[in-house]
């Protein structure tokens, strides 16, 4: 099935008081169903698409026996000599407040 989150949200209207950062109204005006399953789209096995899955791909294992080399605190990430704030805006990753630490 196609990823239902990879499309715009339709029919939702929000009125926000930006001065006080308060939602005044929230209205969900229409139900928009997901499109029907299309076997020629993503997230389906190769046999369903009329082909076959690749057999030359070896397993991938990502392990960190000593734990990760980064720290996450809310939206802030510390990794090596970099601090950054990560935000997801309109299904995109945005990095802001990026600081390079000189040790």
Q: Is-above-0.75 flag for pTM?
A: no
Q: What is the mean pLDDT of residues 40-61?
A: 69
Q: What average pLDDT score do residues 14-36 get?
A: 82
Residue 88 has pLDDT above 50, yes or no: yes
pLDDT at 56 over 70: yes
Query: Are the beta carbons of 87 and 96 closer than 8 angstroms?
Result: yes
Rg (CA), the chain: 21
């Amino acid at each position: 099935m196609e990823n239902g989150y990879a499309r715009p949200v339709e029919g939702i209207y929000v009125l926000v008081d930006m001065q006080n950062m308060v939602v005044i109204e929230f209205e969900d005006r229409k139900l928009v169903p997901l499109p029907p399953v299309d076997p020629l789209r993503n997230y389906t096995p190769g046999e369903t698409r009329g082909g076959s899955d690749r057999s030359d791909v070896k397993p991938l294992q990502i392990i960190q026996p000593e734990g990760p080399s980064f720290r996450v605190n809310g939206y802030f990430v510390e990794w090596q000599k970099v601090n950054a704030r990560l935000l997801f805006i309109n299904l995109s990753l945005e990095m802001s407040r990026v600081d390079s630490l000189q040790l």
